[in-house]
Chain A
Amino acid sequence: KNQVEQSPQSLIILEGKNCTLQCNYTVSPFSNLRWYKQDTGRGPVSLTIMTFSENTKSNGRYTATLDADTKQSSLHITASQLSDSASYICVVSAPMDSNYQLIWGAGTKLIIKP
């Protein structure tokens, strides 16, 4: 069964610290893996999109890595800011018959404390 699992479920860190969020998936084959940031009560915003051939992709203080062999991805946030408080969602796009599907993780809720 195609699944995307994220850990930890929630995380609290102090402002200025770094953190790493994990995403494990059982989807195979897949087209791409995405990370989204969702502020409370708002729509998600795309951070990165990686195909299976890409190992790393950065977007400012956000760096995503992908290991297609172990089916793991991580999102590293450097020098966290209060505005980084949000849910971070990992999504895998996979072909399905003549169609495709997006498999969404449940997200990691990140809280940055001053």
Chain B
Amino acid sequence: KAGVTQTPRYLIKTRGQQVTLSCSPISGHRSVSWYQQTPGQGLQFLFEYFSETQRNKGNFPGRFSGRQFSNSRSEMNVSTLELGDSALYLCASSQDRVTGELFFGEGSRLTVL
């Protein structure tokens, strides 16, 4: 069974640009959540999608957005990039959004110059 797949794994952008990250969950998982992790920091929750609906949202500015498609694949977008957006962005999928185990992808490492 394939795990959670995130693309791209690494990317470099400049300030002011925008970026789109993709996440393919484990087959059968309908819950997808996104996290930001900056160097030396813990995971910061961005948002969670379930059946194409945003169910939870963290405390991030509106520049951060996401969506989920009918096949449960999810994308997140960051517009008007800032230096502080440099981070590892992690996606996790789950079969049961309340009690289920989270399965994480390897992450997308974004560097903003």
Question: Could you tell me which A residues sit within 8 Å of B by CB distance?
Answer: 31-32, 34, 36, 41-46, 49, 51, 89, 93, 99-102, 104-107
Q: Is the interface of B mostly helix, strand, loop or mixed?
A: loop
A46 lies within 8 A of B101 (CB):
yes
Question: Could you tell me which B residues sit within 8 Å of A by CB distance?
Answer: 4, 41-43, 45, 55-56, 88, 90, 92, 97-99, 101-107, 109
Which one of B42, B45, B92, B106 lies within 8 Å of A42 (CB-CB)? B106
Q: List the 4 shortest-distance A-B pairs measured between CB atoms, nearest first.
A: A43-B104, A106-B42, A46-B101, A100-B98
A102 lies within 8 A of B101 (CB):
no
A104 touching B99 in the complex, CB below 8 Å, given contacts A43-B105, A99-B55, A99-B56:
no
Hey, which chain A residues are within 8 Å of B104, CB to CB? 43-45
Hey, which chain A residues are within 8 Å of B55, CB to CB? 99
Q: Which residue of B lies closest to A109 (CB)?
A: B40
Hey, which chain B residues are within 8 Å of A46, CB to CB? 101-103
A49 touching B107 in the complex, CB below 8 Å, given contacts A101-B56, A104-B42, A107-B42:
no
Question: In the assembled complex, how far is the CB of residue A111 from the closest CB belonging to chain B, in whole angstroms?
Answer: 14
Hey, which chain B residues are within 8 Å of A105, CB to CB? 42
